[in-house]
Each structure stands twice: as C-alpha cells, then as structure tokens.
C-alpha cells in the first residue's frame, strides 16, 4: 500500500451494531471502494454489540457481592468464558483463514487473561473508577483483534492499535475522559506519518498522563473517530450505520421519513443523537466533514459540514419523551431570586430544565423527569409560597434553516393539530430549532402533520 497524503485519508467508524456476520463483508466492500479511489482508510471499531453492557453489568454484580471474594472469583471465570464464546462465535461465523483465525484466538485468549486479572484486582482492592475504566476498555480491544485478522485474512493488510500504543492521552476524568488534543494530535500524526497498512484502532478509550486506562464517555467511539479525523485533517470521517443516514423523522412514527442529504454542524447539534457533543467539537474545530452512511447502500448518506446546505427550510422532525410541565403560580413567583431558588432545587435533584417560559401570573417549567425525583422537586418548590400544577408532556422539534415564516406555519399547524398545545414555538435570529410542548398522546399526530407540511 502506498503512502497517502493527509487529505487522501478517510476515517471509518464501525459501531457494535454492524460488527456482525451479516455486515462484515459489506465493510470489506466499502474499504476496497475507498482504496480503489486511492484513499487510505483508517478504521475505528466499537465493542461488538452488547459487550460493554455485559462488562458494566458484571462490574455491578461484583460491587454488590464485594464481601464474597471466593464466590466472585468463580463468577469471574464463568463471565470470561462467556465473553470468549461470543468472540469465538463471530470469528467462526465469518471468512477467516486458519492462520489468521489462530492469531485472533491466541490474542483474544491472552487479552482475556489480563481481563480476568483486572477483575480479580477490582474484586480485591475495589478501586472503582480506575479499574472500571480499564475493564470497560476491553470490549473495543477485543473487536480490534478480531477485525484486524479478518481484514488480513481477506488480503487487506491491517495492523491493530490500542489507545496506549499511539498514545491517545486524556485527563483523569474516569468514565468521561477528555482528550488532550494538542499532545494526542502530535502522537497520531507521528504514528501514521507513513502508513503502510490499514490501521485498526480501538475506539472509546484513552490513557491518562498517569498511565491509567480511561474511557471517553457516551458515544466514545464517535469521539475517537472525530478526534483522529480532526487531528489528521483527513478528507472526511464516515460513521457507518445499519440505517439510511440521518432520517427526517423516526420511521416508526413517520412512515415517509427520508434521508437528509446535508446538515450543518449547528443543525446536527440541535437535532441531537447524531454525533455526540464531545465528538462534534473536534470536527467543528478543524471543519472536517462527517458522513453518516448506510453500510448496505452508500448512496443513502448524510453529509455534515461547516456549510451543510444553504437551502432554507426544515429538515428533521424530532421529539423528546419523559418530560413534565410544571405550571408554578402564587405570590412566591414575584419574590426576588425565586427563579434562582427553583433552579437550585432542580439542579440538586438532577432534574434537567428543558424549557422555561414566564407569563404575567405563572412560570412554566418543562423538566426531564425520568430520574424519579419529580415529587421531591414539587414538594420543595411548594414550600416557596406557591402552587404547582404538574402534567406529563412531550416535546416536538423542527430542525433546519428556519425563519419567521416557518415559525408562523409551525404554530398554525400545531394549533390545528391540537387546539390546546401546552407551549408553541418562539423563533430567534439565525433560527435552527423550533420546539413545541404537547400532551403525551398528541406527539405522534403532531410529528406526522409537521412532516407532511415541512418535509414532504
């Protein structure tokens, strides 16, 4: 493989959902397509589906049984056997020749021996954060071994890299670490200055300045991919999925949902659930393009870039469930510092304030109430010389390059769909998001009507 210039590099992220027998041949096809066009692929992998959850659940079991040391040691051996079986099963399900299969199995066995030792240390010393991070990083490392030998077996020379091999340096904020961009970017560019094979890099993981394993938090493999793409100023980053790019709505609610061709960084951020915030900050910093693409059909993809599309109008109808609207009234709301006191209560009980609106005689606050602390919050607020009427609600959002006219149509459609909506849209300069609060049983109808009006 010839050395390529930086702008001829494509970073590919393969998530756990597609690290499965039915998709791996498609992954080879996509990589070969890139190489045929003289691109140098770099691949970032997640843990295979369910492995990180298994590791987290087993850590919880050890924590509950921490006084039963001997019993836990027996459970550890059984768990390691289960993890090994899952990886051997996928190796046996795909085309890997005997030589590379044996290399993969030997390396997986060695890695699992280390995992067993770490579990035993965790069981003995109970140093939770440091050992938890180290243990959770094994899922991506196991995937890296499997996928490297899978490519090697299919005449695509590949080499595996763990975060500590590069190294990707982070702070010590365990379970949600932040990458030291400057130092890690220097390491990445030095490591891959003269690429002669396909690097397969374990996502989600890093190593602290104290040489402890770290994990990058929710969406951590996206974070790794976006960091590497930004650090190397690559042509683009492709986040491969088993869905058709970014859709205009949830297809289970809106049957005619379609692939959105272009989004700006801001639109993608406002839509949420497309690229995690931490990952997005890296690509925004260097204006690196990101594609969210179907592994089955590359024509179904969404390009996310600095410009996105200059086309005005709506692109995505989104929603958020599990909300409660509190209508606060009474003499207390007019007292100095009342809103500050309410914010303190909600913050203390970890109730995220999603939306707030003042009227002449009431304060309307929408909170994410899924953590079970709503009643405590209501009781605490009532002590502030006020009354509260609380009701379950959902939020419907419109994302795109929006204007005042769009906001008017949004509110007109909302009122026609449900004559008594809880809260309507408020446009602002350079508006990319409009939102409405509706009763829980009205959300799907509102979404479907918005899609007909704005998208179809």
pLDDT tens digits along 303-324: 999 887 667 889 999 999 999 9
Structure tokens at 222: 């996206």
CA distance 204 to 44: 9
Query: What sign does the CA torsion over 121, 123, 124, 126 have?
Result: positive
Helix residue ranges, H only, 295-442: 338-348, 374-382, 404-417
Q: Name every residue whose Cβ is closer than 8 Å to that of residue 268 and which is 6 or more positions away in sequence.
A: 246, 274, 275, 280, 304
Q: Note whether 407 and 435 are within 8 A (CB).
A: no
Q: Note whether 181 and 169 are within 8 A (CB).
A: no
Closest CA to 54 of 79, 20, 19, 85: 79
Mean pLDDT of the chain: 92
Give residue for tokens 């010389």: 385
CA distance 422 to 5: 55
Residue 5 has a pLDDT of 44
Q: Does the pLDDT at position 142 exceed 70?
A: yes
pLDDT per residue as tens digits for the range 98-129: 999 999 999 999 999 999 999 988 877 766 66
Q: Name every residue whose Cβ is closer than 8 Å to that of residue 382 and which is 6 or more positions away in sequence.
A: 388
According to DSSP, residue 442 is labeled G
pLDDT per residue as tens digits for the range 15-42: 999 999 999 999 999 999 999 999 999 9
Long-range contacts of 116-121 (CB under 8 A, 24+ apart): 116/76, 116/77, 116/80, 119/58, 119/62, 119/76, 119/79, 119/80, 120/73, 120/76
Q: Does the pLDDT at position 1 exceed 50?
A: no
Residue 2 has a pLDDT of 41
CA distance 192 to 185: 11
CA distance 199 to 103: 17
Phi/psi for 7 (5° steps) reads: -75, 5
pTM of the model: 0.91
> Residue 4 — pLDDT band, cuts 50, 70, 90?
very low
Phi/psi for 311 (5° steps) reads: -65, 125
| Angle subtended at Cα 19 by Cα 119 and Cα 272, rounded to the nearest 5 degrees | 90
Closest CA to 291 of 278, 274, 304: 304
Three-class SS of residue 335?
A: coil
According to DSSP, residue 47 is labeled P
Domain limits, CATH 3.30.2130.10, in the chain: 313-455
Q: Does the pLDDT at position 427 exceed 90?
A: no
Q: Note whether 253 and 447 are within 8 A (CB).
A: yes
N- to C-terminal Cα distance for the chain?
46
Domain limits, CATH 3.40.1160.10, in the chain: 6-305
Query: What sign does the CA torsion over 209, 210, 216, 221 have?
Result: positive
Q: Note whether 214 and 207 are within 8 A (CB).
A: yes
Residue 334 has a pLDDT of 85
In total, the chain counts a number of residues equal to: 456
Give residue for tokens 């930004």: 230
- The CATH classification number of 6-305 equals 3.40.1160.10
Q: Note whether 393 and 435 are within 8 A (CB).
A: no
Half-sphere exposure of 157 (CA within 13 A, CB side): 6
Three-class SS of residue 340?
A: helix
Q: Topology of 313-455 in CATH?
A: VC0802-like (3.30.2130)
CA distance 233 to 219: 21
């Amino acid at each position: 493989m010839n050395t390529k210039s930086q702008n001829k590099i494509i970073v590919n992220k393969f998530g756990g959902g597609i690290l499965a027998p039915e998709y791996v041949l498609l992954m080879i096809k996509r990589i070969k397509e890139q190489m045929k066009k003289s691109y140098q692929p770099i691949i970032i992998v997640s843990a295979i589906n369910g492995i990180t959850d298994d590791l987290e659940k087993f850590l919880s079991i050890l924590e509950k049984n921490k006084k039963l040391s001997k019993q836990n040691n027996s459970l550890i051996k059984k768990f390691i056997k289960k993890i090994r079986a899952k990886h051997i099963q996928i190796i046996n399900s795909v085309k890997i020749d005997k030589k590379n299969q044996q290399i993969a199995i030997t390396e997986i066995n060695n890695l699992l021996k280390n995992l067993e030792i770490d579990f035993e240390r965790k069981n003995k010393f109970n140093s939770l954060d440091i050992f938890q991070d180290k243990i959770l990083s094994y899922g991506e490392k196991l995937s890296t071994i499997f996928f490297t030998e899978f490519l090697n077996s299919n005449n695509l020379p590949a080499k595996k890299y763990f975060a500590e091999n590069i190294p990707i340096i982070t702070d010590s904020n365990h379970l949600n670490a932040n990458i030291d961009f400057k130092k890690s970017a220097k390491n990445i560019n030095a490591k891959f200055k003269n690429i002669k094979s396909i690097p397969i890099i374990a996502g989600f993981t890093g190593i602290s300045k104290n040489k402890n394993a770290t994990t990058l938090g929710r969406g951590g493999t996206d974070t790794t991919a976006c960091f590497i793409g930004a650090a190397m100023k690559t042509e683009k980053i492709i986040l491969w999925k088993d869905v058709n790019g970014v859709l205009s709505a949830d297809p289970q609610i809106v049957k005619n949902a379609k692939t959105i061709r272009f989004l700006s960084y801001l639109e993608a951020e406002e839509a949420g659930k497309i690229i995690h915030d931490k990952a997005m900050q890296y690509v925004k910093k260097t204006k690196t393009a990101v594609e969210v693409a179907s592994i089955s059909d590359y024509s179904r993809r969404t390009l996310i870039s600095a410009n996105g599309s200059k086309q005005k109008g709506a692109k995505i109808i989104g929603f958020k469930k599990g909300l409660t609207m509190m209508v606060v009234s009474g003499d207390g709301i007019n007292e100095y510092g009342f809103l500050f006191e309410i914010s303190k209560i909600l913050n203390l009980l970890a109730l995220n304030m999603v939306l707030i609106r003042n009227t002449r005689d009431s304060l309307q606050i929408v909170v994410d109430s899924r953590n079970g602390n709503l009643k405590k919050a209501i009781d605490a607020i009532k002590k502030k010389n006020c009354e509260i009427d609380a009701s379950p609600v959902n939020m419907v959002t419109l994302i795109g390059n929006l204007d005042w006219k769009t906001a008017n149509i949004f509110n007109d459609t909302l009122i026609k769909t449900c004559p008594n909506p809880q809260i309507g849209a408020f446009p602002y300069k350079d508006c990319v998001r409009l939102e409405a609060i509706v009763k829980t049983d009205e959300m799907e109808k509102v979404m479907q009507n918005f899609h007909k009006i704005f998208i179809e």
